[in-house]
Structure 1
Amino acid sequence: SLVKLGRSSEAIADYDYILNDWTSDYTERSLISVSKVLMDEKKYNEAIVYLKRLETTADYKVHYTYAINNLLKAYNALGMADDMKKYAEIIKTSDKASEEEKNSSDLYIGKSFLLKADTVQAVKAFNNVVAKTKTLAAAEAKYNLAAIQYAKGDYKTSQKTCFDLINNMPSYDYWVAKSFILLSDNYLALKDKLQAKSTLLSIIDNYEGKDDIIPTAKEKLAKIN
């Protein structure tokens, strides 16, 4: 397909032709295809246009669920708190969403409160996620709780929360590594420079992901030195 050939803009033009001519399952699948391309390319504002159309016209449960879940992801990527909260609430109360999607919705509700600096409501939402599930969403929620504790100067509690995530959710490498970085921040705040450095060095030596973890750890280590 044109998408696989890296010619996604041509593919989208073809899909647009279909969308203007049809109203059917074929149209819904085309809306999904276009929005998926745009989401993969991080063109969130453009993806939202197609996802909103799918949300309002979908006859198929699975397509509607795809639309609302991806609208939530797009608004999250754009940091649009009100829309994040709106779609998280829709998912939370939808009979078409899975239990896991409903449980994870509180993560986004918490993040929307964080964007508005309402840490009290954010903590409530994150605690809800952690209480209901042990998935990736719970790992991110737990990390956010530790980050809030650190920001409030409650370094010992933040350390405890970090260790809780590291020990009880070891399969989520990214959030475990983020927790180690936050641990080093806590050590530094508690004047334990040696422990802060060794924690960062252990991440640099052992983490295998190709994301922001290693650059962040190196940057923080350079500042300690």
Structure 2
Amino acid sequence: GLIGKNKSKVKLLKQIIADYSASSYYDNSLYDLVKYYKNTQQNDLAIKYYDDLLIATKDENLIADAYLSKGMIYFNSSKTNEAIVEFLFVVNNYQHTIYFKEAISGLQAAYSSLAQIDKYLAVIESLPSVSISRAEQDSLTYNAAFMKFSELEYKVAKKAFDKYLLTFENGIFVNDATYYNAMSAVKINDSIAAITLYEKVVELGVKSHQETAMLFLARESYSRNDFVNSNKHYNTLLEYASSNSIKREVVIRLMTGNEMIDNKVAFKFAKQVVEFDKTDNWLLSKAYVIIARNEFENGNYAKSKVTFKQVVGLSDYDEGAEAKYYLAYLTYLDENLTLAEQMIFELAEKYSSDYFIAKAFILLADIYVAQENNFQAKATLESIIENHDGDDLVNLARKKWEQIVEKEKVVTPEVEEEFYIDISEDEIVYEEEVRDEIDEDYIVEIPDSLKVESDSLEIKILEDEEIE
């Protein structure tokens, strides 16, 4: 008669509980009242009356049901650890009741929600009446990890995926576990783990996972200026790119990534970049300067000159500075030194690229040398040596400075000059008395003190010479 009349039913049940505690209906009254509160989600009241029931009853089925029901209330209220306590009580003490299997299921759900499925498996292994296959363990462990990933709890998910991959090296879900573990690592900014895991994803070769894995690895390598590896991954992405935006990124990065590694490859992708529907001036100038370099290196100076002029019109930055330098250099090769000099000063005034300004002033020194202005050439080179930071250009400037100095050294051997005074006999005036007294046949006698004794052999030789 009380069906559908909940207020009256609750009132009557409370009256029985209050007034007839010794009645055989007491336990059932508590049980019916607690079911009402549970079904109407009045959880605090439900827990209170479950505790009252546990104190009052000795019926094993009611006790097991009470613990199980409390566990479900806690679990649905996100009080998972409290729920586990209730489920474990049923599992350990009431295996012969109909509530045992439900407690096992609740325990599995609770441990899965915490990504602690290994603890659940440990409980199962301790129960002789329950067995679980390796495949079931594999599935449970993976699903527990994936559940946390789906709930965006990436730190917990990564820990769970790590356990799965360690426990089931050849498991059913290895491919997916590795993939989602890599994604979890990215979400928690563990780049080292993400790189390792995504490399494993590429190695496993699951087609649906390749684009994400290679895109991450390519971008990560590119951000670290590891262009060898970024080029490798971007090249592979050419096959897997699923959208125009990714294809565009691949072409641009293969152009810039090969710029200092393989000019021919960079040139190939630069030609594709200039064909894009939408490009900004920086990207166009980068592509055109790569194209112009290739033309210059292949000796097509006229064509490169046109392309470098395009770059100058597009860029006020390094690309424009480089293009202006090459235009000045080509003008220098055409022997138009005055115009080349003017272009160098325009470069220095318009651009802020230290490298190409220094490079241009080294060219300016060459112009001064060609104009036989070594003083100005040396001063220009000295300025670069003293002020520029790049060793390559400083060393080049020093080498050119030394070459100029060497050429300036003029070797002049010292020659002793001989002076002669040409005096004729007529110009000498002798005093007459002295001149008259000169006897041309006069023989000067050698003093005894200066005479040197000689042996008979020497005397003989001398006598023979006199006779001859």
TM range (shorter): 0.7 to 0.9
Contact 2:366 2:377 in 1 (8 A): yes
Contact 1:162 1:183 in 2 (8 A): yes
Determine which of 173, 176, 180 is the counterpart of 2:357: 176
The answer on 1:147 being equivalent to 2:358 is: no
Please tell me the root mean square deviation across aligned C-alpha atoms, in Å: 2.7
Deviation at 1:74, TM superposition (A): 4.0
Greater C-alpha radius of gyration: 2
CA distance 1:61–1:96, change in 2 (3 Å): farther
Q: Which residue pairs with 1:214 in the alignment?
A: 394
Distance in 2 of aligned mates of 1:55 and 1:86: 14
Counterpart amino acid of residue 73 in structure 1: T
Q: Which residue pairs with 1:126 in the alignment?
A: 308
Q: Which residue pairs with 1:72 in the alignment?
A: 255
Q: Which residue pairs with 1:4 in the alignment?
A: none
Name the SS of the counterpart of 1:93 in structure 2: coil
Q: Which has the higher contact order (CA 8 A, sep 6+)?
A: 1
Q: Which has the higher helix share?
A: 1
Counterpart amino acid of residue 181 in structure 1: I
The answer on 1:106 being equivalent to 2:293 is: no
CA distance 1:11–1:186, change in 2 (3 Å): farther
Deviation at 1:75, TM superposition (A): 3.6
Counterpart amino acid of residue 216 in structure 1: L
Distance in 2 of aligned mates of 1:62 and 1:33: 18
Deviation at 1:64, TM superposition (A): 3.8
Distance in 1 of aligned mates of 2:268 and 2:214: 26
Counterpart amino acid of residue 387 in structure 2: N
Counterpart amino acid of residue 252 in structure 2: N
Contact 1:113 1:121 in 2 (8 A): yes
Return 5+ residue gaps in structure 2 as ranges.
1-184, 186-191, 406-468
Deviation at 1:11, TM superposition (A): 8.8
Deviation at 1:110, TM superposition (A): 0.7
Aligned length: 211
Deviation at 1:59, TM superposition (A): 3.9
Contact 2:234 2:254 in 1 (8 A): yes
The answer on 1:33 being equivalent to 2:220 is: yes
TM-score normalised per structure 2: 0.41
Deviation at 1:103, TM superposition (A): 3.1
Counterpart amino acid of residue 219 in structure 2: I
Contact 1:31 1:51 in 2 (8 A): yes
The answer on 1:223 being equivalent to 2:410 is: no
Contact 2:219 2:230 in 1 (8 A): no
Deviation at 1:61, TM superposition (A): 5.7
CA distance 1:85–1:167, change in 2 (3 Å): same
Counterpart amino acid of residue 259 in structure 2: N
TM-score normalised per structure 1: 0.80
CA distance 1:70–1:189, change in 2 (3 Å): farther
Determine which of 20, 25, 49 is the counterpart of 2:232: 49
Name the SS of the counterpart of 1:51 in structure 2: helix
1:119-150 per-position Cα deviation (integer Å, ceiling 9, x unaligned): 01000000011112212111111011112222
Deviation at 1:55, TM superposition (A): 3.7
CA distance 1:63–1:120, change in 2 (3 Å): same
